[in-house]
Amino acid sequence: MNIEMKGINKSFGTNQVLKNAGFFLKDGEVHALMGENGAGKSTLMKILTGVYTKDSGTVLVDGEEVSYKSPQEAEKAGIVFIYQELNVLFDLTVVENLFMGKEITKKFGICDMKAMREKAHEVMEKVGVNIPVDAVMSDLSVGQQQMVEICKALMVDAKVIIMDEPTAALTESETEGLFKVINSLRKKGVSIVYISHRMEEIFELCDRITILRDGEYIDTKEIKKITMDDVVQMMIGREIGERFPKREAKIGEEVIKVEGLTSGKLFHDVSFTVRAGEVLGVAGLMGAGRTEIMQAVFGNLKKDSGKIYIEGKEVTIKNPRQAIAAGIGFITEDRKTEGLLLEKSIAENIEIANLGKVSKNTVLNKAKQEELVKKGIEEFKVKCFGPWHECNNLSGGNQQKVVLAKWVYTDPKILILDEPTRGVDIGAKKEIYNIINELAAKGVAVIMVSSELPEVLGMSDRIMVVREGEVRGILDGKDADQAKIMTLATGGSL
């Protein structure tokens, strides 16, 4: 099946995620789709499969213009999308999953289990996997679950299978198994769109590669004719400009030292230090384990081993309360589900983190409450109608400022910010950068996790790059650049 997508535009609200994007897929090829987080890879594929509708542009399948209105319609045409978060029913068996909604029935709608089992075996043989068809999905490994998804795609005679980060949760041997299946599918004339951040995999597996950047089509190349460096160049290649306020770094004593932090499969042997007045940027691809590391430092995720020293003294941190007592503040990645009491007022949100400050012997003190909240709204320039304004009705940037305010008034020695500017408009972004700089100037040790490379480069004194739960390197802010970070983050070495 040949697919040609040309001049695709798509906006969500005022945010244009695809600008003149394109993609060209040939019969029986494995085609990599690469780009930074937010480059528009998934959106483009969701437009192809009818999850989203495009604002403009054309999609040609075997030369004919199409516009699928639902994933089911795309599936009928032979195009199947296997999402990163697998779309399986975990409490049902393999057969039940394979035939969901397409059951083979006898009279009166009674399921013909025998026929379905036979067909299931047939498909598995075609793929070359052997999974017990009556096993419950949740008992299978992630790799096996993925194979079931692939089998499900073949059940409907898929000609094109799109895989979004298929190896993110797989072990090495499972990955090998997946590659074998992909190779055999390619021989049978099935085309695969392979979305991945993993450079080595792409160079091992794919025939061609298309690169998107900021929602725009950059180029399509034969994989044999380019190098990893070329790909990184194409993926970034943008000016940073003066978006980041300058700061005179006055770096003091070491405030926090993390040693050999390990937690199951999430991350292992993570060590780093941050000094007073320093901003440590933490870069890496989505799912690299950055958030998990920080959650563990803050005591919100269980660690198996590792030590944390604050101002030279070892501290025990098993829950957020101990972390707060040790002087750590933590602004989470997801402000809606973890950062705010959304249905509560600005006042209540600032106060809940500072109950000790606004009360005397556990009785709330109105004067102290009003003073703190007023200060918060003014200092952080929260645009609102008043302290009672419900956080639900604030813009993303103002919500983030409330979160910042509530943490800053706990007087943390160490402030961890996970994706502090996600979903925040450019104006508010700069204000948040200013706040971070002011905190650092006051001697706070700042850790900033971010997926936006320009932000990491613009703000950090040092940059820690994490890949698959390991620290791949800590770069000095002055000689770091996007290419170096991306190389480390995708598994290359400098």
Note the residues at the interface with another protein (CB under 8 A): 298, 300, 319-321, 324, 330, 332, 337-344, 348, 351-353, 355-356, 359, 362-364, 385-386, 388, 406
Residue nearer to another protein on the CB measure, 355 or 441: 355
User: Quick one: residue 62, left, alpha or beta (phi over 0 = left, psi -120 to 50 = alpha)?
Assistant: left
Q: Minimum CB separation from another protein for residue 100, in Å? A: 28
Q: Closest Cα to residue 47, out of 77, 18, 84, 16?
A: 18
Q: Minimum CB separation from another protein for residue 355, in Å? A: 4
Residue nearer to another protein on the CB measure, 47 or 394: 394
Yes or no: say if 68 and 76 are a contact pair by the CB < 8 Å rule: no
Residue nearer to another protein on the CB measure, 391 or 485: 391
Residue nearer to another protein on the CB measure, 172 or 343: 343
**Residues 6+ away with beta carbon under 8 Å from 285:** 37, 197, 451, 467, 489, 490
Q: Minimum CB separation from another protein for residue 323, in Å? A: 8
Residue nearer to another protein on the CB measure, 65 or 343: 343
Residue nearer to another protein on the CB measure, 364 or 494: 364
Q: Report the side by side order of strands in the sheet with 15-25.
A: 64-65, 56-61, 3-12, 15-25, 216-222, 208-213, 30-34, 191-195, 160-164, 79-82
Q: Minimum CB separation from another protein for residue 319, in Å? A: 8
The pairing of strands 191-195 and 160-164 is parallel
Residue nearer to another protein on the CB measure, 67 or 319: 319
Which ranges in 382-490 belong to alpha helices (H)? 396-408, 426-441, 453-459, 482-489
Q: Minimum CB separation from another protein for residue 417, in Å? A: 13
Q: Minimum CB separation from another protein for residue 293, in Å? A: 16
CA distances from 423 to 336, 419, 439, 446 (A): 11, 9, 22, 21
Residue nearer to another protein on the CB measure, 96 or 348: 348
Q: Minimum CB separation from another protein for residue 299, in Å? A: 10
* CA 474 and chain centroid, separation: 21
Rounded to a whole number of angstroms, the distance between the first and last alpha carbons of the chain is 40
Residue 415, CB-side half-sphere exposure with 13 Å CA sphere: 28
| Burial zone of 463 (CB within 10 Å; 0-12 exposed, 13-18 middle, 19+ buried) | buried
CA distances from 365 to 327, 356, 405, 465 (A): 24, 10, 19, 45
Q: Minimum CB separation from another protein for residue 489, in Å? A: 27
